[in-house]
Amino acid sequence: MATDRSMSRREREIMDIVYQRGSVTAVEVRQAMASPPTDAAVRATLRILVEKGHLRIEQDGPRYVYHPTVSRDAARQSALSHLVQTFFGGSTRGAMAALLEIDESVDMTPEDRARMRALVDRAEREGR
């Protein structure tokens, strides 16, 4: 599969919609877009995403339904890795600090904090 860097802004917007919904038709994509292009342009972009390997297509009666080829979790990991490399020079610590500082009104529950501590402890045990 190609990386996110090989996608246009419109392609990324459509992939966001697909991941939010799980599967979509061209009409659903167009309705969900902030400033949708023509129906033909949406269909052409979906076709490009199929050709690039980001989407697979199924026929459901007269409609074509598009599904992501990579799970949401795998896509999330790839995007996060790219973000950490691009904006934080590969520093997980820097990314984590930025996330915690981004909004001081974020209310972390005791369970959230315990999970974060457990993840940091595990990373330390694994030498990361």
Query: How is 52-87 classified by DSSP, letter by letter?
Result: TTSEEEEEETTEEEEEESS-HHHHHHHHHHHHHHHH
CA–CA separation, 58 and 60 (whole Å): 6
Confidence (pLDDT) at 102: 78
| DSSP helix/strand/coil, 98 | helix
CA–CA separation, 113 and 109 (whole Å): 6
Delimit the domains of the chain by residue range: 4-68
Of 27, 16, 82, 74, residue with least CA distance to 49: 16
Confidence (pLDDT) at 43: 97
Confidence (pLDDT) at 5: 52
Q: The tokens of 97 are what?
A: 């600090």
Whether 4 shows a pLDDT value over 60: the answer reads no
Q: The tokens of 104 are what?
A: 């001081």
Confidence (pLDDT) at 97: 84
The verdict on domain 4-68 having CATH code 1.10.10.10 is: yes
**pLDDT by residue (tens digit) across 59-108?**
999 999 999 999 888 888 888 898 899 999 999 888 888 888 876 767 78
Q: Which amino acid is it at 121?
A: D
Long-range CB pairs of 99-107, under 8 A, 24+ apart, other chains included: none
Whether 1 shows a pLDDT value over 70: the answer reads no
**pLDDT by residue (tens digit) across 104-122?**
767 788 998 899 889 889 9
**pLDDT by residue (tens digit) across 7-62?**
889 999 999 999 999 999 999 999 999 999 999 999 999 999 999 999 999 999 99
What angle is formed at CA 104 by the lines to CA 88 and CA 96, rounded to 5 degrees? 25
CA–CA separation, 51 and 54 (whole Å): 8
